[in-house]
Each structure stands twice: as structure tokens, then as C-alpha cells.
Structure 1
């Protein structure tokens, strides 16, 4: 099926020679809403209200750097023979959410050590905020017409895609071909995960288990959605998609970590209990 649709402009606003892109605006919006959610919960649990503001000062740069390192590592052949500065050219695209997650988690771990706060306290509070940021951030991919799947078959269109709002499917038409809106699938999956984690807060699970549940939920959905995408990173010299491999590892590690922490008595304190002094 061929279509002739004009895509949305990627530029949000132009201020003289400076262009502000929708991608950046959407990512910033997701981060702001995530920060609001975490700050609100921190206050309820008795932590300093600005603890996550302090954390983000370090976590955001670390996440961006690690997201770029992760991407360049698995796309190294693309940069061989290119000018050296291309490795740092984030504005040309090329960051990965798993790299950003690694950077943010490592930063939070060190931050918690310095502040003498339980890392899992911060991680549990932040987990729903991460899903908020990821759910909203995927719409930046929508504006950039990226992170999509393969071409939509006529059968898939008739049975499923035609029920998706036109403003979404139209933006997924590139050079006359409609592609699977995998950004949408992941965004919806993350919103459902957010509802699950917010419910978990109410049932007061053991400390750390909201964070591990986030890793399991996101990884489970990402594994299947990644299989539909056309822009995957691959383990060098193989047909193994990196995001799928990382997703499986995160699920296994998270389950083992929860079992281990319970058996060793490391998860006796519950989410709402003995904060913030418990380490």
C-alpha cells in the first residue's frame, strides 16, 4: 500500500538561527512529569522534597553520556573512517534507552551512598517516574518518524492498524510506505506498567521490589516490541538484538535478586516503612 501524506514538522519553534525540536520538548516534558511524581512521593514518605532535583543534576548528564556510549559501542563500524567528532554528535541521533538506564542507575547508587540513603528507597520511588518519562519520550520518536517497525501488510492494516487514530498512522508513512508504530506499542505498555507500579505502592511491597518489578515489566514488553523494530542494535557478528538480550538478562537478574534479598533478610523493610534512615 502506498500513501502520500505530509509528516508533521520536527521543529517545535525557531528562534532566529536556533531551532528547538519537538523531540527535545517531549523528552523534557516526560522528565518534568517524572520529577514531579517522584518529588510528590518523596515528600509523602518523609524524604527531602528536593532530593530528586539534586539527583537529576548528576543523573541526566550521566544518562546521556552512557546512552551515547552504549549506542556507539554497538554501532562502531558506522563510525570507523568518520571524523572523530562524529562519535559525540548526539544531535545527529544515536542514543539508547538501556544505556541511559545504566547511567542513571549507577549515578543513583553513588548518590545514595553519599547521601546515606537506601538506594532501593530511591529506586522504588523513581521507578514509576521512569515509566512516565519513557511513555512520553516515545512520542519524540513519533515526531522524528523513528523507532518504528517494518512495513504494514494489507492484512495487518485491515485487522488492526486501521483502528489506530489517523494522526498516528499518517506520521508512520515514510516515502509512501506505512510502518508499524512500535513507539506507540511501547508507550502504551509503559502506561500500563505505570498503573501496576502505582498499585504496588498501595499494597506496600518489600523495599526494592517496585524497582525490580519495573525492570521486569519494561523488559518483558521491550523484548517483544524490539522484535518488530527495524533499527535494532545487534551483538557484534551475530543476529542477536542487544535490547532483547539485555531484556532477558534484566528479567532473570531481577527475579533472582528479589529471591536472594528475601532469603538473606535484606528485604524485610517494606516500601512505606522506616524511611529515610534505613540503609
Structure 2
């Protein structure tokens, strides 16, 4: 069975995350759970019912994001083996998939552990999501330069580099101003932060930086869509029918292979007419 039109994966991530943040923001403001001026993204998903929507949709988004990371990993691996790219690409790609999956794990923590319930886990998840996600973006910005013009244009590599820089700068800004603003906070509820509560300017810088990073994340993932349009994943399941010590492989006139050599299943990554079987 072949899976085509994989460009819908980054497109779905690009649509789902902003829609989730916007929906929970509107609900939280209408219910009076946050002030409309510059809340953190997770503040808009802290209280019920918006927390339920926030958690459920982010869990779906985490799954889609994990699939994007896997497809990207297989794409880069295919280009490395087919076009003899620099060995650095292979190492970066292997590191990248781990950073990407840990970023997904962090996003899952953010979705399922609200800051009012388990603040340590929530903040750990935010650091994994934004911090490791930024490292993932740097890795694949470098890979994009190695893979142009085969897989992507030089302009797209420049865009990914610029987005990685933006994520780095604003993630650092988010972290520093976030800590300093909470030190200066003198109010009773940080989800309803008013200018006279202390640390207001730092708070605004921190929350605005978080929204900038989130938008940059979504745009970066969307940048994979054009490349994924030309990729299909094909999975074949082999039926082992014993016949005189040999196995007849599926029903499509496949070659007869010794039983020991027949795999349980294979995955084929097909890119522009080329394929790799694993």
C-alpha cells in the first residue's frame, strides 16, 4: 500500500496549531480566564473547557508532527544514499530525528500537564518543544544547503536558516524575560497580568516572543510541503506460504525467495522515481 500526497502532513500541522491557539485564546478571553493583552499560549489552555480543546488538538498535532519528522528523516536518508552527499548529512540527519522526536515529546507534556497542575513538567515540556525544536531547525537548515538544488532551492535553504535564527533569538528572549518578569510580579494571578502588577514590560516581551517562535515553527514545518509532494511511502506486507521450503511472496508475481530471506515487511521511500527498500 502506497501513501502519497504527503505534503498534507506539514500543511495540516501549519493549519492545526494556529487554529488551536486562536480558538483557545478566544474562548479563554470570552470566559474571563485570561486578559486579552498578551497572554502566554499555554495560559489560554489552562482552564476548562478550553484546556480540553487545547490538550486534544495538540495531541493530534504532536502525532502529525512526528510523522513529518519521520518522513523528513527518510527523505534526507534517501538523498544521502542516492546522490552521495557529504557524510555530515548522515550524522546530522540521525541527530535531527532524535531532537525532533524529543521536541514532540515536549509538546505532548505541554498539552497534557497544565501549568496550574504540574508546573515543573509543563515547563520541561516547553523547553523540550521550543529548545530542541530550534536545534532540529538548525540541523535541517544545514541539510537544506547540502541538498540544494537536488531537493530544494537555495532560497528555501536561506528561509530555513532565517527561521532558525528567529527561533533562537526569540526563544532566548522568551526565556530570559519570562524569568525576570515573574521575579518582579506582585499580582495574585499571573494568567491575569496587569500593568501595575510589576514586570509588565518584560512580560509583554516574553509572551510576544513565544507567539513569534510558535509562528516561526509553523512556517518552518510548512516549508517541507513542496518537497513532500514528490514523496510516497510504500509498505508491502509479505505472506509467507510454505511450499517445499520456499515462501511465495504476496500475489503480484513476486520472485520466489528462500524462507530465511523473506522479511516480514518492507518500507519503500520513493522520491522522483527512485526508491529505497528497507
The TM-score by the shorter chain falls in which range?
0.3 to 0.5
Q: Normalising to structure 1: TM-score of the pair?
A: 0.38
Q: Which protein is bigger by CA-based radius of gyration? A: 2
Structure number with the higher strand fraction is 2
Q: Normalising to structure 2: TM-score of the pair?
A: 0.39
